[in-house]
Structure formats: structure tokens, C-alpha cells
Amino acid sequence: MNHDAYDDNYIRSILNNVKSIAMVGASPVNVRPSYFAFKYLAQRGYDMIPVNPGHVGKALMGKPFVASLADIDRPIDMIDIFRNSSHIMPVVDEALKLSPLPKVIWMQLGARDDAAAEKAEAAGLKVVMNRCPKIEYGRLSSEISWMGVNSRTLSSKRAPIPTQGMRLSLNRTSFGGGQTAASDRAAKNKTETT
């Protein structure tokens, strides 16, 4: 696997097929990147599990923190590692002790460990390094284009504004939707004119 460039179909298949995501290094502090990624993915219908021993006893979006992957009481499809590169191998080692094994090891932006990736792939897991599932989801679903960002997705049609319960292009339902007065007006005007 070339971990310097991923095919969109590889990322898309991961985001379409995983249901539960354990985020190692999740933070309840609402200015931390892990908080934003956790919240975004939870609002897209993923079963999010916050993993951080420093926050056991707290909850993130109603989900109680657990101290380790071994403390999770259900199968995990993907482990999203929000730790720096020096902490990745121990997380992968812990993941490989789980039964059943997760399907995916995902390392956040700035995190890369080729030896850990090789070890996970040898066990049959898919691996993504130095990427953010929140950003990739937004890019591949065209949500990111609502913010004026080039998503590298060509289309002659403007992406629809998300509304509560809308089915998005990555086969997920939006739970948050575009929660602004402007987006609500635009969605209402669009339905009234069609």
C-alpha cells in the first residue's frame, strides 16, 4: 500500500463500511481538533467511542470515556489515533490483541508510523496515515465545498445544503445538518421553488 497517496475509492470504502470508531486521544475540550472530529463523525451516524485514560468518568457528547481499547464492550470497526507518531505502535499492539480485530487503523494528520502500519496490514487491517476522517468525509461527500473549499470533486451541480435527516453521498444520514438560519432559509426556498 502506498501511504503517500490514497485512492479516493479506498478512503470512501472505509468511511462507508465502518460503523463504530474508537478515537484514541479524544478530548472533551471543545477547542481541541479531536473534539471537532469526534462531534462531526458522531453527527454523521458513526458509533463513536472516546478513549482517553485522563478523562475516565467524563463523557463526550453523551459517550463515556474509556481508559483503553480493551475496556470497550463491543466490536470496533475503526481505531482513529489522535496521538503523535511516537504513541502509535503501542495503540496498534493493543488493537491487535482485540477479538474481533478492528477493520481499520486510522492515524490523524501529522501522525505516521510505517512499522505500525506494516504490522497492522500483516494482520489484515486497512491502514490510513496522516489523514483526518472528518476532512476526508467532508471532501468526499462534498460537504466541504459548502465552506468554499476545493474538494477536488468535479460536478456541474451545486452540492445540496444538508438538512436534518438528509442522506449524504457517503451513505450516512446527517444528524446535525446545516444548523444556521441562512442554510435553513436556502433549504426552505429550494423546496418551495421545486
pLDDT tens digits, 135-144: 999 888 877 6
Mean pLDDT, residues 49-66: 97
pLDDT of 83 strictly over 80? yes
pLDDT given at position 180: 47
87 vs 190: CA distance, rounded Å: 48
pLDDT given at position 178: 45
Give 70's pLDDT tier (boundaries 50, 70, 90). Answer: very high
pLDDT given at position 189: 60
pLDDT of 120 strictly over 60? yes
Query: Percent of the chain, pLDDT > 90?
Result: 70
pLDDT given at position 193: 56
pLDDT tens digits, 85-94: 999 999 999 9
142 vs 23: CA distance, rounded Å: 24
Work out the mean pLDDT of the chain and round it to a whole number: 85
Domain boundary assignment for the chain: 8-135, 156-193
Kindly list the distances between the CA atom of residue 13 and the CA atoms of 103, 136, 185, in Å, as whole numbers in the listed order: 12, 12, 33
Highest CATH level, class, for 8-135 = alpha beta
If you compute the radius of gyration of the chain from its CA atoms, what whole number of angstroms results?
A: 17
pLDDT tens digits, 148-188: 555 555 555 555 566 666 555 565 555 554 444 555 555 56
The more confidently predicted of residues 167 and 28 is 28
pTM attached to this predicted model: 0.77
Mean pLDDT, residues 52-64: 96
Q: Taking phi first (over 0 means left), then psi (-120 to 50 degrees means alpha), and beta for anything else, what does residue 102 get?
A: beta
Q: Partners of 81 in the beta sheet?
A: 24, 107
